[in-house]
Amino acid sequence: MVRVVVAGFATIDYVVRVEGDFTGRGTRLMREAAWPRAGGAALYASAALARAAVAAAPITWIGDDTDGLAYRAACVSLDGVAVMSNAPSTRCLLIYNADGSYGCLLRPGPAELTETQLRLAVQAEWLVIAAGPPEITARLLDLEGPRLAWIAKDDPACFPPDLVARLTARAEVVFCNAGERAWLEVGRTEPKPPSQVLFETRGADGVRVETGQAVDLPVTPLSVEDATGAGDTFAGAALAALIAGAPPRAAAEAGIAAAGALLAARPSCT
């Protein structure tokens, strides 16, 4: 039985690093960091859960194209992967600047919640919401069975204000980064639930864990060409630890270790 489903876009990522900053005009030299690679929060988080021996599956959508085949080959479970006929898979161009900041260009493919996906979500113990089509997120939030976790992303196309309000009010576990924290708090329309656990990743500055109080944990900084998926991997591993009964601090340590292992396998910056 699938214990955790992670709903969000399936992407084929084309990752490049440029010299200096890419402003959208002019020419910059680039080098390919990953070209291409299956990605998306649903893939990274479900893979981290599976590595921690928690049965997990992404709820996502691919086209019947070569990109879709590449995504299927990288997936831990195909139970919730819907193939859209005569349609392209979602592509994502990630442009990393020299300072580590990045921009994203997304060409989404079509998505439609299937009966199989809905049944998986209803039967799961946990539903994890990641960036995806807002109308599908809204339908999944109407489910009353699974517990809820949210991998937040400051993306109004995926998370308009009404969904942010619902997610901040209902999620038992929230994952965000430091740049998204202010956006998340502005989106609250109700007080933070007392039992909500919030993990805020801060890059080289570590991780903050907030329950009734805040705890800051250090990380070992790594300088890599491509940090894509680190936050989602952290989220999957931390949630797996919580499911296994670990306290939030230990869950964050598990997430830090998993994200560190992902980054350590990537090319370092030169």
Q: Is residue 53 part of a domain?
A: yes
Percent of the chain with pLDDT over 90: 83
For the stretch 28-70, pLDDT in tens is: 898 888 788 999 999 999 999 999 999 999 999 999 999 999 9
pLDDT at position 270: 62
pLDDT at position 101: 85
Mean pLDDT of 158-169: 98
For the stretch 208-263, pLDDT in tens is: 999 989 999 999 988 888 899 999 999 999 999 999 999 999 999 999 999 999 99
pLDDT at position 124: 97
Q: Is residue 93 part of a domain?
A: no
Q: Is residue 150 part of a domain?
A: yes
Model-wide pTM > 0.85: yes
pLDDT at position 267: 84
pLDDT at position 9: 96
Q: Is residue 26 part of a domain?
A: no
Say yes or no to pLDDT of 26 above 90.
no
Looking at residue 74, which CATH number applies to its domain? 3.40.1190.20
Q: Measured between alpha carbons, how far is 234 from 77 in angstroms, rounded to an integer? A: 19
Give the chain as a 3 state SS string. Answer: CCCEEEECCCEEEEEEEECCCCCCCCCCCEEEEEEEEEECHHHHHHHHHHHCCCCEEEEEEEECCHHHHHHHHHCCCCCCEEEECCCCCEEEEEEECCCCCEEEEEECCCCCCCHHHHHHHHHCCEEEECCCCHHHHHHHHCCCCCEEEEECCCCCCCCCHHHHHHHHHHCCEEEEEHHHHHHHHHCCCCCCCCCCEEEEECHHHCEEEECCCEEEECCCCCCECCCCCHHHHHHHHHHHHHHCCCCHHHHHHHHHHHHHHHHHCCCECC
Say yes or no to pLDDT of 183 above 90.
yes
Q: Is residue 97 part of a domain?
A: no
pLDDT at position 226: 87
Q: Is residue 129 part of a domain?
A: yes
Q: Is residue 245 part of a domain?
A: yes
As for how many domains the chain has, the answer is: 1
Mean pLDDT of 117-145: 96
Mean pLDDT of 72-91: 96
Q: Is residue 95 part of a domain?
A: no
Q: Which domain holds residue 221?
A: 4-10+40-87+110-264
pLDDT at position 20: 87
Q: How confident is the model at residue 93 (pLDDT cuts 50, 70, 90)?
A: very high
β-pairing, 126-129 vs 147-151, is parallel
Say yes or no to pLDDT of 27 above 80.
yes
Instruction: Name the more confident of 255 and 103.
Output: 255
